[in-house]
Each structure stands twice: as C-alpha cells, then as structure tokens.
Chain A
Amino acid sequence: MSAEQSNPSEALYPEGAGLETFITTRNRRGFVWRVIFISATIVAIIALTALIYNIVIGSFGYVAMQNKVDPASLVLAVEEDRMLTNLNTLSSEDDKELVKGIEGNPNAIGFFGYAYYQENADKLRAVSINNTMPSAETAASGTYPFARPLFIYTTADIMAKKPAVAAYVNYYLSNLDETVNEVGYFPAHPDAQAKTVQSWLAANGLSQGNELPTIDFESLSDEDNLAIAGSSTVYPLSRKVAIDFRRAGFAGPVKIDNVGTTGGFRLFCDGETDIVNASRPITRAEIEACQKNKREPLEFNVATDALAVVVSTENDFLQNATLDELRDILTVAEKWSDVNPAWPDTEIERFIPGADSGTLDFFAETTFTRKLEDLPKDTLVAILEANLSTGLVRRYESEKPFAERTQEDVLNLVLERVVERRVVKSWSLIESLFNRGEIETFVESIPQGELEFRSWLHLGFLTTPQATTPELAGIRTALLGTLWVIFITMVVGLPIGVGGAIYLEEYAGSVGNPTLRQVNAIIQTNINNLAGVPSIIYGMLGLAIFVRAFEPITSGALFGATDPTTANGRTIISAGLTLALLILPLIIINAQEAIRAVPQSLRQAGMALGATKWQTIWHHVLPNAIPGILTGNILAVSRAIGETAPLVVIGASTFITVNPSSPFSKFTVLPIQIYQWTSRPQDEFRNIAAAAIIVLLILLLTLNASAVLLRNRYSRRMT
C-alpha cells in the first residue's frame, strides 16, 4: 500500500488499461450477483403473489344455491296450519257455510272469492286492505293486494298449424269482458288487454289494425281438437269460453285438464297440449324448457282474480286492515283488541276456506310474506318439529335445549336440516367476473336455483361452528381451539424456554465442575439439533407421553374435570404441551442469541457495583434482551399456530360443533380444519378452506405485527 512497496514492483499489481479492465471485470461480477439476488427476490414475490391470488379468488365468487324445500312454502305451511287450527275458526270448502257463519255476527271475519262476495253483498261488507277496496281498477292495477293476473299461453306456430287454436284464442279475447264478469273475475287492465290483442294479431301475421277479425267457423274442420291444461283458477273461465265457442259453431272436441299451472307448462312444453291455463307468469326456466322443444310461448293476460275479506254488515269497526293486522287477526290474536286497541274487546270468530282450497293458498301466499329469517324462534322450532323426525328433534334438544338456543341458531338448524339449502356449484372470483353469462344460464337451468355473490369469508364464518354443509360451516370451534392450544403452548413454552436460555447463556459457562460443563455442552448441542427435528416426531412423542402415559392428567380425570365427550388424552392440554415441546428449541436458541447480544460491559458494570449476578441479569441483561427474545418467541408461536402434522398424530378432532370449554376438551385447530376441508371432494369446501386460510394469515400477521410494535417500543425505551 505504501509507496516503497508498489513502485519498484509494478508487475505485482495491474496498472493502466489492465487495471481498468480488471476493475470492470470485478464490477461485472458484482452486477451478476446482484441480478441473481434480484431474480431470487422476484421469484419469491411471484410465488407469494400466486399464493395470495389463489386464496383470494377461492374466497370470493358466485355460487349457485338450491333449496330442497322452498323456505317460503315452509313459512306458508306453518302459518296456514296455525290459521286452520286456531280457536274460534270454522274452515269449510263450502263458501255458503262461511257466509252463513259471518252474516249477522259483528265479531266474525272471513274471506273467499270476490265473485261470491258480490252475490252476498246484502249481508256482507268487504274490508279495504291497505286502504284499497277491491274493484276492477284496483285489481287490474295491482294496488289491491289480493289480486293476481290470470293467463293463457300458446305459440304462434301452434296457431298457424291449428286454426282452431287461433280461433279459440280469438274468441276468448273477443268476448272477455262478458265472460269474466259472468265467472266472477275482474277483467285485465285495459292496457294489458290491448297488448294481448296486439300480440294475437302479430302472431297471426295481421299487423294492421287493432280489431280482432271475425271468426269464420265454416273454415274450421270437425277434425280439429283443442287440448288445454293448467290452473284450476283459470279453469272456470276457459271452460265457459269453450262452451260458448262450441255453441258458436265449433264442432271439434275440447279437453281441459286441471293439473295446476306448473303441470300445465310441463305438458305444454313437452308438446302434449296446445294451450296452458296459468295463474302466474311463466318462468325463465319454463321458457327455456319450451324453447328446447321449439316452442316460443306467447302470453295472453285474460283476467284478474281477486278475493274479498269480508265482515258482517253488523260490524261497524273494521273498515280497513293492513296485511300485518290481517295476519294477526287470522293467526295469533284472540280478541279484536289484541290487534288494535280501538277495536272491541270481543273474541274474533274466523270463517275461512278449507285446506284444499286454492283460495286459502292464495290468501296465505299474499298475507304471510315474512321471510324465514324474520320468523320468531318458536315458529322456527315449530317448523323443525313439523319436518324432522321426533328422534332427531330430541337429539338437538338434548344437545342444547331449544329454550336456550338463539333464533339464529335455530334458523341455522332449519336451513341445514329442513330447507337443505346447499351450494350446487361455486365459481372463483375470476370466473365470476368474466364468465357471468355462463354462470347465469347454469343457475337458471336448476329448479329453485339462485345466484348469489358470496364472500366465503364473513363475520358469520368466524362465529358459526363446523357443519356438514360448506355454506353453513364456520371456524368458530377451530379458532377457539387454536387460541386455547396456543395459550397453553405459550404459558408452558415461553417461561421454560427463556429460563433455559438464561441458564445456558449466563450460568452454564461459569460452572466449575468439568462433568457438569460437559453435560451443559451436550444439552446445548442437542437443543440445536432438536430445532431441526421434523415436527411429526414431536407428534409421536406427544402421543406417547401426553396422550398415553399421562392420560389421567391430560384427560382431566385426575382433577375430575373430564370432558364427557372425549374422556381420553387427546385434549387441548396434550396438544398445547406437544407444541410447547416443539417450539422450545426455537425459543431457547432465539433467546440465547438475544441474551448473548447484550454487551459484556453491562454485566461487568452491574457486577462491579456490588450487585448479585441475578440482579444484574434481571435489571440489565433481560431488559436489553427482551426485544430479541420477544421476536423469537412470536416467531416460534407463529410456527406453532401453523403446525398441523403433530396435531394429527396427537388426534385433533376433525368435526367439532361445541366450543372447547377447558384444557381437557377435545379440540380442533385452524390448520387441521383447513387440511380436512381441502381433502373433501366437494368444491365448496375448498372455498371455505381458502377463507379459513385468510383468517389464519390475518392471525399470524397480527401476531408478527404486534411483535414488531412491542420490539420498537422496548428498543426506544432502552436508548
């Protein structure tokens, strides 16, 4: 370096151009290494991103839901049943009986078809519903709630092929007003009627004019026939039209079947019939089913059905009722004053159509529109009792009495056991964003299918226990299990680990006895080796020691605290102790590093002041080592949280719905739950596994962040 060394021996070091290339080469070599390191970092980042991407797209996305039982029909069944079995209720298929009961009785109320009310308008009075009286206008416009449009359906092709069908529909529409009035329905809204006529004209290739052509009965052959099937509500109307149609000159046979609206559409789409009587509009699924058979259904709104809620003319207080009031009057209330304090304190007498009547169904459908979720707990319990076997109900009762369960809890049971709402198919976030069309077609193809954008990760996911169906399953039990196990791991592992580190670092070195020194050296080496032992070995160790050998202790039998459902050593405490063993070497090594990093001068300063060794360690060494110890501990605990293999060996349960309540409970933990879900065949379990992974990651990140915060706080205090 000095002048006398480099000058006389120039050849020893490169100079001039040689020096330049030499430096360039060295720089280039450094650059290559830098590129390698950057690439490694990029690869790591890409791998992490891919991992997170996979988890996230699995946790959110569309799902096709299907209910085995329609929840609305459950509500209806329960409410109808309550209505029919109520006190002071007369139910009859014969409307005359109802009228007889109501007339002259001021406390009576009842309902039936509007037509029949009109016949008895002298003895009865219709009640306005939501301040709307039934009339042609309110029924047609839909403001009167107890009104529904009635339809017939056919196709342009059928009308072209079978002139009789075209003629029949023409006749139907031409004479609608008289027929409808005669049957007792309201005519459809004038706009709807005009539209109906237009669509007939368009379907028959007559685009000009607004008038239906006169029917030329001569041109219709006797061979022609009409096959009609569908709703019994539309039946009287269609029958009346058919009779008049034949009187007017049609000679062929007309067959009308009462198979219900749904049945009518099925026959029609299969090509069995020409016309459908429908008391509701056609659904998309039905349109598609028809299109598969090359049938494009054409809708004709022919009339509006309405029913009247009636009281006696003697009744002077009930002029109007809301739907809610009506529901109470017909179900839960005993006296009129129960519903509205302004009404008399007399008992309600109810007169309603019988259970087989479509009128009752229609009334119930309109009135009992509450959703399953809004029903009170006792109603939900009633649904359970009505739909499940007594044995199953008793089992739930013994697991936890219904009286103690929450409404939400019972609702979940109903959803799981009665509605059997399940996910038919789920899509990832990416598919949900880019394949929307395909997804929608799929959902419409399944009966009672519903499309739902679902975040598999939601608050309920954290608070509901494990379940057999993925959409109802949550991680509450697993999360609590993890917290319990980690608590035990920390309580046992941290003090022992830090204590061991203090001994090995501060005391073991100053041991005078050479044998003891050797033992300490062996311990130190073994701890380093133990940190590298595969975790499953710890599982075997835990199984042999904690689960088997210490069973009386770990099962709680010794303390009389056994969990009746396990009564063996496969408990939280066994798991916690095993994980404590597993992380002990990590804690010791990390704590040793931290303690070693405390400058020797601090120890000397303390000792030189006449402090004992322990005072020096406690007041100076430990406080300075704490940030490092904490970091090591948290990393070790993070490792324990993510550990699966040893707990599989210990015997973590895979299906637990009851919260772990003591160290002697059986348990499951998040990684076990995730592992178990990912190995299930149904796709949806992978979605909840992804959501559970997010929870686990958040838990770990929170822990690590708190380690950083704690460390920073301590370090700031030190300097």
Chain B
Amino acid sequence: MSDNDQQQPISPNGRYALQLNDVHCYYNSFRAVKDVSLKLERQKITAFIGPSGCGKSTMLRTLNRMNDLIPGARVEGQVMFHGQNLYDPEVDPVEVRRRIGMVFQKPNPFPKSIYENIAWGARVNGYKGNMDELIEHSLRQAALWDEVKDKLDQSGLSLSGGQQQRLCIARAIATKPEIILMDEPCSALDPIATLKIEDLMRELVKNYTIIIVTHNMQQAARASDYTAYFLMDRDDRAGALVEYGITNEIFTNPKDQRTEDYITGRFG
C-alpha cells in the first residue's frame, strides 16, 4: 500500500493514468477496434459507452492485456503506463495485470472461502505483510466487511450476487493496483446492489483510477467523471472512438450527432 502511495506523486504521466496512442485491436485478421487515442485521467471514473459490438470491452481488455488470453488477439499502437508501452516485448503481462486490476461482468469469486478469495491474489504476488489486516482492509474498502466479517471461512459462492461482485472488487483491491477496470460490473445485479457498487466506486476513486464499461446510460451519467463513446464504423465494422470528454458535457452538450442520437435513445 505504501508503495503505491509513494509512486503516484512521482508518476511520469502526471494527471493521466493511461495514454493510448493510435491503438488498433485485431482478432486474427479482423480489426475489432481502430485508431483509438485517449488520455485517461488519474483517480477519476471514466465510462466507456456505446452499442453492443462496438469494441468497448475489447478496448477495456486491451488496457491490462487480458486480450492475450484470447487466441489470435493482437494489438497495434501504444498503451502508455508510467512512460512505458504495455505492449513492449519486454513487458510481462503478469506485472501489468497486478498493477491494473479487473472486475468482470458476472461475479466470479473462486469456489473457496471468502478469506481465501482475497488472500490468494496477495499470496501469488508475494505479499509479505499481515494477511488478516489486508483482508479486513480490502473488505472494508469494498464495503463488505460488516456483512461478512463473521463468516470469512464460508464459500465465496454462498454470498448474494451483489456481495459476490463486491468481493471481486475487494479481491482486486487487495493486490494494490493503480487502475481498476470494470467490465459491466452491474449488469447481473438488481438496482439496489447496483447503487451500492456505484457508491463504492465513488469511494474507491479517491485512491484508484477506475475505468468502467457500461450499457446503462444513467449509470454512466451518474457515476462517471469522463465518458468515451464508441461506435462501430459501418464501412469496415471496426469499433472507433467517436467522442471523449467530461461526462456532463457529453450528456448535456454532445459535439457529435451520433453521440446525441445514442444518449437520447434514438439509436441503439
């Protein structure tokens, strides 16, 4: 924890956590996302919105090299993180993923105890501190501690969907990432659980940079500081960034007609 706290002020990127320069994503020969350049603000929530198939999830996975797991996936361009391109050959994706954590669409806790769910990630990354403290701290940060403190030895799968998702967030926090990627984290949750996650995000953003993919326009409007709107190009079926800016401006005064169509519900 202290490591990260010290690193942030001297970050060479200044106010930006990630900088994307002309990024293209391919699945084998198919180009899924083309020509994205973006600067993602540090300790802010950035939302990726757009209709299905526009490449926003692909974009998100590109940011911590989770696309490497998909056979045939390939990235061109630069994703700069602390002045280092994540796609340089000497960069180990394992380290990238430890610094840039991820929460998935469907809650996916390990079929192990709540305690073990959090401890495992810390352990494989060589955590040397007090494990009990880390677990309590992570669960508190994920606003789950009060609900599970008496049943840490129970299976993670015994929790409700919303709790499971917060457990996954706690699990991601425990490895002390700088950035947390969230791929539609609330799509499987009811409105109350969704609100809880959103509150949690607002809390977490004080320490972390959060990038979230969502289909829920209100969620993007409510929870995010910045919004990037992606749309599939009709000609070559590749996703492209249409507009990026402060959320308020995107939703109240979009510069692009296509953005306006989308957020007003006339399209998609």
What per-residue 1/0 map shows which CB atoms of A574-618 lie under 8 Å from chain B? 000000000000000000000000010111111111111001000
Q: How far is the CB of A527 from chain B (nearest CB, A)?
A: 20
B84-101 contacts to A (CB < 8 Å): 94-95, 97-99, 101
List, in ascending order, chain A residues with CB within 8 A of B155's CB: 719
Q: How far is the CB of B86 from chain A (nearest CB, A)?
A: 14
Q: How far is the CB of B42 from chain A (nearest CB, A)?
A: 20
Complex: A605 Cα to B165 Cα, angstroms? 12
A-B contacts, 17 of them at CB < 8 A, read: A601-B104, A602-B111, A604-B102, A606-B110, A607-B69, A607-B97, A608-B64, A608-B66, A608-B97, A609-B98, A609-B175, A610-B94, A610-B95, A610-B99, A610-B121, A611-B124, A719-B155
List, in ascending order, chain A residues with CB within 8 A of B205's CB: none
List, in ascending order, chain A residues with CB within 8 A of B171's CB: 605, 609
Complex contact A608–B101 (CB within 8 A): yes
List, in ascending order, chain A residues with CB within 8 A of B172's CB: 608-609
Q: How far is the CB of B39 from chain A (nearest CB, A)?
A: 24
Complex: A611 Cα to B175 Cα, angstroms? 10
List, in ascending order, chain A residues with CB within 8 A of B66's CB: 604, 607-608
Complex: A605 Cα to B108 Cα, angstroms? 7
Complex contact A608–B102 (CB within 8 A): yes
Complex: A576 Cα to B99 Cα, angstroms? 50
A489-541 contacts to B (CB < 8 Å): 509-510
Interface status of A620 (Cβ within 8 A of chain B): yes
List, in ascending order, chain A residues with CB within 8 A of B124's CB: 609-612, 615, 619
Apart from A608-B104, A610-B101, list 16 A-B contacts with CB within 8 A: A601-B104, A601-B106, A602-B111, A603-B69, A605-B110, A605-B168, A605-B171, A607-B69, A608-B97, A609-B120, A609-B121, A610-B99, A611-B94, A611-B125, A612-B94, A719-B111
B106-156 contacts to A (CB < 8 Å): 106, 108-111, 120-121, 124-125, 155
Complex: A607 Cα to B95 Cα, angstroms? 10
Contact with B108, one of A509, A510, A599 (Cβ below 8 angstroms): A599
The residue in chain A whose Cβ has the minimal distance to the Cβ of B103 is A608
List, in ascending order, chain B residues with CB within 8 A of A619's CB: 120, 124
List, in ascending order, chain A residues with CB within 8 A of B111's CB: 602, 624, 718-719
List, in ascending order, chain A residues with CB within 8 A of B109's CB: 605
Complex: A606 Cα to B95 Cα, angstroms? 13
Interface status of B193 (Cβ within 8 A of chain A): no
Complex: A603 Cα to B104 Cα, angstroms? 12
Q: What is the interface size of chain B, counting residues whose CB is below 8 A from a CB of the partner?
A: 27
Top 10 closest pairs, chain A to chain B, by CB: A610-B98, A609-B121, A601-B108, A608-B102, A611-B124, A610-B97, A718-B111, A605-B108, A615-B124, A610-B125
Q: How far is the CB of B173 from chain A (nearest CB, A)?
A: 11
Interface status of B71 (Cβ within 8 A of chain A): yes
The residue in chain B whose Cβ has the minimal distance to the Cβ of A510 is B71
The A interface is mostly helix, strand or loop, or mixed, namely: helix
List, in ascending order, chain A residues with CB within 8 A of B189's CB: none
Q: How far is the CB of A557 from chain B (nearest CB, A)?
A: 48
Q: How far is the CB of B116 from chain A (nearest CB, A)?
A: 10
Q: How far is the CB of B201 from chain A (nearest CB, A)?
A: 17
The residue in chain A whose Cβ has the minimal distance to the Cβ of B102 is A608
Q: How far is the CB of A517 from chain B (nearest CB, A)?
A: 9
Interface status of B157 (Cβ within 8 A of chain A): yes
The residue in chain A whose Cβ has the minimal distance to the Cβ of B155 is A719
Complex contact B95–A719 (CB within 8 A): no
List, in ascending order, chain B residues with CB within 8 A of A510's CB: 69, 71
Complex: A599 Cα to B124 Cα, angstroms? 21
Complex: A612 Cα to B111 Cα, angstroms? 19
The residue in chain A whose Cβ has the minimal distance to the Cβ of B70 is A510
Residues of B within 8 A of A (CB): 64, 66, 69, 71, 94-95, 97-99, 101-102, 104, 106, 108-111, 120-121, 124-125, 155, 157, 168, 171-172, 175
Complex contact A719–B157 (CB within 8 A): yes
Complex contact A602–B69 (CB within 8 A): no
List, in ascending order, chain A residues with CB within 8 A of B102's CB: 604, 608
Complex: A719 Cα to B112 Cα, angstroms? 7
Known: A602-B110, A604-B69, A719-B111. A611 touches B121 (CB 8 A): yes
The residue in chain B whose Cβ has the minimal distance to the Cβ of A600 is B69
List, in ascending order, chain A residues with CB within 8 A of B64's CB: 608
List, in ascending order, chain A residues with CB within 8 A of B95's CB: 610
Q: How far is the CB of A716 from chain B (nearest CB, A)?
A: 11
The residue in chain B whose Cβ has the minimal distance to the Cβ of A616 is B124
Complex: A599 Cα to B110 Cα, angstroms? 11
List, in ascending order, chain B residues with CB within 8 A of A509's CB: 71
Complex contact B94–A620 (CB within 8 A): no
Q: How far is the CB of A67 from chain B (nearest CB, A)?
A: 67
List, in ascending order, chain A residues with CB within 8 A of B97's CB: 607-610
The residue in chain B whose Cβ has the minimal distance to the Cβ of A615 is B124
Complex: A615 Cα to B121 Cα, angstroms? 10
Complex: A615 Cα to B175 Cα, angstroms? 15
Complex: A605 Cα to B120 Cα, angstroms? 11
Q: How far is the CB of A513 from chain B (nearest CB, A)?
A: 12
List, in ascending order, chain A residues with CB within 8 A of B98's CB: 609-610
The residue in chain A whose Cβ has the minimal distance to the Cβ of B168 is A605
Q: How far is the CB of B187 from chain A (nearest CB, A)?
A: 14
List, in ascending order, chain B residues with CB within 8 A of A615's CB: 124
List, in ascending order, chain A residues with CB within 8 A of B108's CB: 599, 601-602, 604-605
List, in ascending order, chain B residues with CB within 8 A of A601's CB: 104, 106, 108
Complex: A116 Cα to B245 Cα, angstroms? 137
Complex: A718 Cα to B156 Cα, angstroms? 10
Q: How far is the CB of A491 from chain B (nearest CB, A)?
A: 30
Q: How far is the CB of A467 from chain B (nearest CB, A)?
A: 55
Complex: A615 Cα to B124 Cα, angstroms? 8
List, in ascending order, chain B residues with CB within 8 A of A610's CB: 94-95, 97-99, 101, 121, 124-125, 175
List, in ascending order, chain B residues with CB within 8 A of A603's CB: 69
Which of B64, B110, B171 counts the most A-chain CB atoms under 10 A from its CB? B110
Complex contact B69–A620 (CB within 8 A): no
Complex contact B104–A605 (CB within 8 A): yes
Complex: A509 Cα to B69 Cα, angstroms? 10
List, in ascending order, chain A residues with CB within 8 A of B101's CB: 608-610
Q: How far is the CB of B113 from chain A (nearest CB, A)?
A: 11
Complex: A601 Cα to B69 Cα, angstroms? 12
Complex: A608 Cα to B64 Cα, angstroms? 8
What per-residue 1/0 map shows which CB atoms of A291-313 lie under 8 Å from chain B? 00000000000000000000000
A194-225 contacts to B (CB < 8 Å): none
Complex: A602 Cα to B155 Cα, angstroms? 15
List, in ascending order, chain B residues with CB within 8 A of A607's CB: 66, 69, 97
Q: How far is the CB of A613 from chain B (nearest CB, A)?
A: 9
Complex: A30 Cα to B94 Cα, angstroms? 55
Complex: A599 Cα to B109 Cα, angstroms? 11
Complex: A607 Cα to B181 Cα, angstroms? 14
Complex: A599 Cα to B108 Cα, angstroms? 9
List, in ascending order, chain B residues with CB within 8 A of A611's CB: 94, 120-121, 124-125
Which of B64, B98, B124, B171 counts the most A-chain CB atoms under 10 A from its CB? B124
List, in ascending order, chain A residues with CB within 8 A of B94's CB: 610-612
The residue in chain B whose Cβ has the minimal distance to the Cβ of A508 is B71
Complex: A509 Cα to B99 Cα, angstroms? 26
Known: A604-B69, A605-B168, A608-B66. A620 touches B106 (CB 8 A): no
List, in ascending order, chain A residues with CB within 8 A of B125's CB: 609-611
